[in-house]
Structure 1
Amino acid sequence: MLIRPQTSQTLTQCWYTRIHQPVTRKARGEGGMLLSVCRHCQRAIHSHGGKSWTLADGIDLDELASQSHIRYICVTSVDDGVIIARYPIDRDAVEAVVQARIDEVIEKHEARELGSGLEVKLMGGPR
């Protein structure tokens, strides 16, 4: 005869989707980073802009990229968390040239359209 335990262990939603959602309370940490706890798995999570949240106890690839000496424009799918394209930029480029290149990439990927699910941001290099 099998005896069924009283409690059943299930996997949380974020285990399947890898998308963590913060609880209502958020705190601001060093460098403007948002800190919270995932409402599903109760683990510490953080975010740079509040759009996508990652586990706080792992390697943060966005933080590593922001400390890089190589500057590039990164096109990311917000829903999947996948990098679609990277466009390197000259290190000594002036701000007007960089902004023009960002606008060009946004137009190319049609990232301004509502529901595109794409995020275009400048990564690496001096701030």
Structure 2
Amino acid sequence: MAGGMQITGAGPEARYEVFHTDCPARDVVDHVTSRWGIWVLISLRNNDLRFFELRESIQGISEKMLAQSLRALVKDGLVWREVEPATPPRVTYGLTEFGREVAEPLTELFDRITRRLPRP
């Protein structure tokens, strides 16, 4: 055990033990698969968006939950945040390379599900 978390192997092939409660990868998975995290990643898959654009694209999300989800995803390195000095400040969000890697299978899952659902 290293630093309170379990790591298997050594060197570049070392892997986190995601079933261990102290595993940092587990936190990232929790943020990605949270009620709103997945929708943030899917919303950002094609375009960088400002906060209000994200809020409009994800129906039902409150400003508080969007801010919390974005804060967690930025901290995890999945989403970048750029603040343009203005009054009020313009804040834009987009996917990092890591975020794009994670969003790709989520987008594929979303697309598979929507293709199988009966048309409304």
TM range (shorter): under 0.3
Give the number of the structure whose residues are more often strand, by fraction: 1
Normalized against structure 2, the TM-score is what?
A: 0.27
Give the number of the structure whose residues are more often helix, by fraction: 2
Structure ID, larger Rg? 1
